[in-house]
Amino acid sequence: VTLHLNPISSVHIHQKPLVFVLNSPLPLVWKLKTERLAPGIQRVFFVSLGSVVQFEKGNFSLSAETEEKLFPEKNEYLLQWAQKEYGAVTSFTELKISRNIYIKVGE
């Protein structure tokens, strides 16, 4: 699955830390494609067991962390976990089948 990340239109370059929870019942390779995300900013990708994140060549992989986690099975419990862990969730998306996911990040 390719995860496309770019800032909302009102933000020229996104310069804040981000946390992504990428959960799947089956192990996946998450391919990251980004535009206009500042290098050197912490970005954390939590992935379900057996999954990996592949960064683009020359991407911000040096400042990004990937961690495998055993997530709750039901989305409501996953959402509760994320809220407890980080205090807020700004976006939650559930997809049954997808090859590309487009996410706008920003204020």
The answer, as to whether pTM is greater than 0.75, is: yes
pLDDT of residue 60: 66
Quote the domain boundaries for residue 56.
2-105
| Average pLDDT score, the chain | 90
Q: Which of 33, 34, 36, 31 is nearest to 53 (CA)?
A: 31
Average pLDDT over residues 13-20: 92
Closest CA to 16 of 83, 63, 84, 82: 63
- Under 8 Å between Cβ of 29 and 6: no
Mean pLDDT in residue range 64-71 = 93
CA-CA-CA-CA dihedral for 18, 40, 103, 58, to nearest 10: -150
Determine what percent of the chain is predicted with pLDDT higher than 90.
65
How many structural domains does the chain have?
1
- 22, pLDDT greater than 90: yes
**What is the average pLDDT across 1-22?**
93
